[in-house]
Amino acid sequence: MSEPVIAARGLTKRYRNAVVVDAINFEVAKGEIFGLLGPNGAGKTTTILMMLGLTEVSAGEVRVLGEDPVRAPLQVKRRVGYLPDSVGFYDQMTAVENLSYTAKLMGIGSDERQARIERALTRVRLNEVGNKRVATYSRGMRQRLGLAEILMKHAEIAILDEPTSGLDPQSTHEFLEMIEELKREGMTVLLSSHLLDQVQRICDRVALFNAGRIALLGSVSELAQQVLGGGYLVDLDVEMPPGADVERRLRDIAGITSVQRFGQFRYRIAATRDVRPEVARAVVGAGGSLTKLSVEEASLDAIYTRYFQRQAGATGGSRDAA
């Protein structure tokens, strides 16, 4: 990994007695899409605010583009774009006026301002409604306008807090495409979300937050390996002749990490690769017949659910272990 653009070391935030962010460590490389995941209240937004110098750091440190947001917040905020959770604009002003105000705050000169606003609005497909008051905008349009602000800033890092929550599927899809486009242009994107399937689609690496700590960190397939024991889940329904031991045969296949049995003829297999052909051969070879054979790539959803189940199991004692 090249020099990280964001690096947090022992980053901690305490409110009176409550620890909201507990000594987290992570690094984000230039040009990657990094996801902060976790349930609400896990400390994602607080982490983001600390990176921008918008809230004080209780302990530890964070470096953004080599700067310390505590000491040099303006330097950081000049180069980082931030789209807050459910972003708001001045309703009585038009989109262009709103952007023009922030452009002035950014210190963009008047000669350049108009062109930059125009270009940013075109990129997010709002150029035709740019002179309408923001009060008339839908939620998806506001979100896009927030992205336009980051584009106008020519930010090196875009920090997006829950960018797709509350959007309809169509707007979500469009928005995610725009984020991927940013990545292609070399922008580093850090986004927080609790909508896992979306994050999975676009994130290079994710950090799973749980109660102020980063529980898991890595790419989706790495996490799947860690939590589920494999990147692929194969569901298998079979009808077997009495006495045939398909389970042993299955375990012999290379790449399979676990075989779970549900009921009499149903198995769930975790594997590091797509093992369907071997599974089919094994079942048929044992004299059985296949009634269902399907594979799914490990989803973040599954990782997430499994992880939190395991947590609950660990804290709930052995009676929940089954």
Using CB under 8 A, list all residues that contact another protein: 45-46, 49, 52, 54-55, 70-75, 77-78, 80-92, 101-102, 104-107, 146, 149
Pick 31 or 73: Cβ nearer another protein: 73
CA angle 52, 55, 58 (to 5 degrees): 115
State how far the Cα of 87 lies from the Cα of 126, in Å rounded to an integer: 16
Pick 104 or 310: Cβ nearer another protein: 104
The least distance separating another protein from the CB of residue 88, rounded to whole angstroms, comes to: 3
The least distance separating another protein from the CB of residue 50, rounded to whole angstroms, comes to: 11
**Spatial contact of 162 and 35, defined as CB atoms under 8 Å apart:** no
For the chain, the straight-line distance linking the first and the last C-alpha, in angstroms and rounded, comes to 41
Cα 211 from chain centre: 17
What 3-state class would DSSP assign to 145?
helix
The least distance separating another protein from the CB of residue 163, rounded to whole angstroms, comes to: 13
Pick 97 or 237: Cβ nearer another protein: 97
Q: Which amino acid is at 121?
A: L
The least distance separating another protein from the CB of residue 140, rounded to whole angstroms, comes to: 16
Pick 45 or 200: Cβ nearer another protein: 45
The least distance separating another protein from the CB of residue 49, rounded to whole angstroms, comes to: 6
- For β-strands 188-193 and 205-210, DSSP reports them as unpaired
Pick 23 or 72: Cβ nearer another protein: 72
Cα→Cα distances 207→26, 66, 117, 211, 289, Å: 8, 21, 33, 13, 42
